[in-house]
Structures are given as structure tokens and as C-alpha cells.
Amino acid sequence: HNAVGFFLTAGFLAMMYYFVPKQAERPIYSYRLSIIHFWALIFMYIWAGPHHLHYTALPDWAQTLGMVFSVMLWMPSWGGMINGLMTLNGAWDKVRTDPIIRMMVMALAFYGMATFEGPMLSIKAVNSLSHYTDWTIGHVHAGALGWNGMITFAALYYLVPRLWKRERMYSLRMINWHFWLATVGIVFYAASMWVAGITQGLMWREYGPDGYLVNSFADTVAALFEMYVLRAFGGLLYLTGALVMTYNIWMTLAGKLREEQPMSDAAYDAEQDRPFVATAN
């Protein structure tokens, strides 16, 4: 679990804190919040590991400790998500016209969703259904593909033109295509695994009047066939988006620019896009 907490969370939060303000051209919403939620993550994540070992030989007190710290972990995790989203305060118009910003916002949305789902799955009553099922796989992939993947793609789109001294990426519309392919792909991938996991959990715990299990393991696998097809379809969409990005980067390195219409004709609206300002009572 330290791999999830410190490799797939802390490092990618650092990427978010650098690239979101750079692309949005806005300062971080709250440096104080970033410090508080960083140290809270550092302290709490190391205690959350036992939530993967509910209903095992692990002592019950250790399982309960892992559950409690996992639920507490929801607050500092959302501190990072809120800080990232509020950094766009006053720059929300760019979401309509800048696909890189859009990708960053989607990454933060998946981070928030995954860090809510994780504490929920750590609760013993929920975990009794989800443990060892594809629900856990769907949860992990929503975070890995949606949060880690999207913020990495956005960082690459930001870095490549600057490292190779290009005016911009070869095609902004290809970035937009990549965004939608990845987003729809993750939805198919994760949602199919959620449904598959709940189906597995219910079939595994179904007993007949004689007290024996109703379904064999082979029965549960056969029942999930359609979900696995949807999972493969979602993964293929996500992979296609990555291939589009690879081509876009290759053409950018070659020094080419694709002539395109603007992404959106939506103009900046000073009234609708104004920043939130605290008012004194």
C-alpha cells in the first residue's frame, strides 16, 4: 500500500501542483492547505495497509486500525483535489478552449472519486462484499488510468513543446480526441469492473436451503463474460488515445503544425468566469 500512497499519490500530486498553475497561469489556491494535506497524507497512509487484509488472519485490532485510518485519509486526499480545482478559480473559461486544462481537471476528478471510493471500500461491511472481487480492480484502475494517466498525459503535452522549443503541440484537436478516448475508455473499464465485482460478491455469498454454496467458481466467471468484453473495449479506447498522443508528439518533434480552427468560439465572460471573492459580513 505504500506504493499506492507514496509513488502513485505523492509524486503525482507534486506534478499536479506544478503543471496545473503553469497551464492555467494562476497561483496555487492555498499553500497552507497543500502543506497540511501533504503531512496528513504522509502520516496516515502508512497505517491504511490493513484494509487490504480484512477478514484474514490479521489481528482484528489491526484490521480496525487500518479501516479507521483509511476513512480519515479521505479528508487530506480531498484537500489536494480541492486545492487543484480551486487553482482554476477565475480561469474556468480555459476548460472550454484548452484540452490540456480539461485533462488536468478530469485527472483531479478521478483522484477525488478514487480517494472517496477507497475509504468506502475499507469499511468492513462494504469490504465483506468487495474483497477479492473485480470491484477492487475497477477502483484501482479508475485511480491509475484516470488520475495518474491523465495528469501524466497533460504534463507531457505541457513539456514537449517547451523542451523542443516548438510553438505548440502539432494538433490541439488530437489532444481533445485523446481526452475523450481516454475518458470514455476509463468509464467503460471501471464501470464494468464495478458491476462485475458486485456480481461476483453476491454470487460468492449465495447459499442454498441446504447450506451449500449455490454457484461454483466457473459459474461466476461465466456470468462476467459481458463485463470483461466491456472492460477490453474500454482498455482499447484508452490505448487508442495513447497512440493518438504518440503520433501527436512525434509530429511535434518533427517541427510540424496542423492548421486547425479554434477549439471553441466561447469568449471570456467577465461575469460568469469571475473568481470567487470572500465578502465581509
46 closest CA partner among 17, 19, 73: 73
pLDDT of the residue at 3: 73
CA distance 281 to 279: 6
Number of domains in the chain: 1
Q: Which among 121, 159, 182, 151 is positioned nearest to 252, based on CA atoms?
A: 159
26-42 residue pLDDT tens: 999 999 999 999 999 98
Work out the pLDDT band at 181, boundaries 50, 70, 90.
very high
Q: Is residue 264 part of a domain?
A: no
pLDDT at 125: 94
Residues 44-72 have pLDDT tens digits of 988 888 998 999 999 999 999 999 999 99
Share of the chain above pLDDT 90, in %: 73
Single pTM value for the model: 0.89
Structural domain boundaries, residue 249: 2-253
What pLDDT is recorded for position 276? 57
Is residue 28 within 8 Å of residue 21, measured between CB atoms? yes
Grid cell digits, residue 130 = 468487495
- Separation CA 3–CA 135 (nearest Å): 20
Taking the CA atoms of 26, 32, 38 and 41 in sequence, report the sign of the dihedral they define: negative
Between 211 and 183, the higher pLDDT residue: 183
HSE at residue 71, side-chain half, CA atoms within 13 A, is 11
CA dihedral sign, ordered 93, 246, 231, 234: positive
Share of the chain above pLDDT 70, in %: 92
Q: How far from chain centre, in Å, is Cα 93?
A: 22
If one counts every other C-beta atom within 10 angstroms of the C-beta of residue 105, the result is: 22
| pLDDT exceeds 60 at position 266 | no
Task: Give the three cell numbers for residue 172.
Answer: 490541439
**pLDDT at position 277:** 56
Exposure string (b/e) for 73-90, b if CB count within 10 Å is 16 or more? bbebbebbbbbbbbbbbe
User: Does some domain include residue 275?
Assistant: no
Q: What is the CATH number of the domain that holds 59?
A: 1.20.210.10
- Secondary structure (DSSP) of 111-154: HHHHHHHHHHHHSHHHHHHHTTSHHHHHHHHIIIIIIIIHHHHH
> Is 269 part of a structural domain of the chain?
no
Asked, for residue 30, whether it belongs to a domain, the answer is: yes
**Is 168 contained in some domain?**
yes
- What does the pLDDT read at residue 96? 86
Structure confidence by residue, pLDDT tens digits, 131-177: 999 999 999 999 999 999 999 999 999 999 999 999 889 999 999 99
Q: In a 10 Å sphere around its CB, with 0-12 CB exposed, 13-18 middle and 19+ buried, how is residue 61 labelled? A: exposed
- Identify the pLDDT of residue 263: 60
Amino acid, res. 66: G
pLDDT digits (tens, 9 = 90+) for 144-157: 999 999 999 999 99
CA-closest candidate to residue 146, choices 190, 91, 176: 190
- Residue 94: pLDDT band (50, 70, 90) is confident
